Chains A and B, each alone.
Chain A
Amino acid sequence: MKQTNSIYHHNASALEEERQWIEKAKVNPSDFGVLYKKYYLQIFRFVLKRVGDENISAEIVSDIFVKALQNISKYEHKGFPFSAWLFQIARNEVNLSYRKEKYNKTVTVETPELNEVLEEVDETQHEENIQLLLGGLKELKPDELEILEMRYFEKRPFKEVSAILEITESTAKVRMHRVMQKLKDIITRK
């Protein structure tokens, strides 16, 4: 995978600055505004890709930041950017909203990303295989689809994927490998 999500790659000074804002926000909630503005679009796009509806997504994003603000006192820096913690909350909130049966789960994907998956499973990049792949996505379990989305449709590095899913990097890689194997099996069997 050539392209990666550059958002995750913070330098040391940026991380330190962020930590200072987090500490300020723990004392004064108004200072959370800096973090809110910094991550608003990232979180919104994360939710929108999984929900599909802009207005529903906006409500969920609002809830995410409310929960983040309410729990920021419990936040501890564990070597990951603050965004990973926010994405964990976002992931939980999105899954919670699915369970409330407000709407169906949505996957937002571009054709080049689908072609990239096909390339990864050594299949020819043409429309017929893309349709098989799209059908295959519906056969994946929620956690399998989730890791595929993050890795291939959102270009997140394994480090970030593992931080959001709260698993080790090696586990994330093993899971990803199994998902790709499953997709390959689905495509070749049809």
Chain B
Amino acid sequence: MKELNINRDVPQPSDDDLLKHQNFEEVLKKASHTTTVETGNLVSKKWWYFGVGLFVVAGVFVSTIIATTFSTKNYKKNYTTVNQDIVEVNKLQEVDLSILNNILTIENNTEIQKESDKNEFEQEEIEGTVPIKKVVQIYYPKEASTLTFKLEESFGLKSQYQKFEEFSIYSNLSFQPIGDYQSGWLKASWSEVQLVKKSDNYFLMLSKNGITIPCQVVPVFESEDYVNALDIYAANAGK
């Protein structure tokens, strides 16, 4: 923290003094100025239309690519069909496995993990020759706000997440699902669970009957675990 000024018993301005600064018109003006792009004042209308046209063309192009990709893989249709609820999760054997496997399989994520390990290995090699201290970014604890996965210890989830440097100092970490997921997943009995990190996002790869479903999660701590985690973070963050 920078220097802290302490104003003790300093007389405060009156309400009238403060109200002199009140200017709603200015707020309205500023808000509209930054929300509606007044490009007419900055560039000519000609360039403005050209920009809009270019944006529309780019949008159509990107949309076409996305639509083509998803329609060929039949991604959305099968993903939502398969993941409707926990009952259907238990019947996944009847679903076309080849399509689901295109989503994000354990193999893919193993490859991601391998790539990550490789990068770490290369980083360590570099560090071996150059005396640079590697900075470990410790995960700042978040408190659980909804239900979290209740997974058996046999999945070895603890040892999995402790392999991630940011979680290595914690125990009692829980995982709270976010985004598109079925509530039944939280209670389902899975045959295998793997924690995967991809682009700073964490996924639990939930497997059953040969099917793997990726579920994006947020690492969280529940009630007292959260308070303890804050202490652990405070004790380790500066090291």
Contacts and interface: CB of A to CB of B under 8 A. Distances in A.
Contacts of A109: 6-9
A33 B30 CA distance: 14
B44 interface: no
Contact of B27 (A69, A107, A145): A69
A48 B2 CA distance: 18
Interface in A46-101: 48, 52, 54, 58, 61-62, 65-66, 69-70, 98, 101
A5 interface: no
Interface residues of A, number: 42
Contacts, number: 102
Nearest to A58: B21
Interface in B23-63: 23-24, 26-28, 30-32, 34-35
Interface string B216-239: 000000010011000000100000
B28 A69 contact: yes
A52 B5 contact: yes
A143 to B, nearest CB: 9
B21 A41 contact: no
Contacts of B31: 29, 66, 69-70
A114 B227 CA distance: 26
Contact of A33 (B10, B19, B24): B24
A45 interface: yes
A181 interface: no
Contacts of A1: none
Contact of B6 (A40, A41, A58, A137): A137
Contacts of A145: 4
A107 B7 contact: yes
Contact of A62 (B6, B17, B23): B23
A108 B10 contact: yes
A62 B2 contact: no
A44 B21 contact: yes
Interface of A: 29-30, 32-33, 36-37, 40-41, 44-45, 48, 52, 54, 58, 61-62, 65-66, 69-70, 98, 101, 104-111, 114, 134, 137-138, 141-142, 145, 167-168, 170-171, 174
List the 6 closest pairs (A to B, CB-CB), nearest first.
A58-B21, A69-B31, A106-B5, A108-B7, A104-B3, A66-B30
Given A36-B24, A138-B1, 12 more contacts: A37-B24, A41-B19, A44-B21, A48-B13, A66-B31, A101-B2, A104-B3, A111-B8, A111-B9, A134-B8, A141-B1, A145-B4
20 contacts: A33-B28, A36-B22, A40-B18, A45-B18, A48-B12, A48-B13, A58-B21, A62-B21, A62-B26, A66-B27, A69-B27, A69-B31, A70-B35, A109-B6, A109-B8, A114-B8, A137-B6, A168-B143, A171-B227, A174-B227
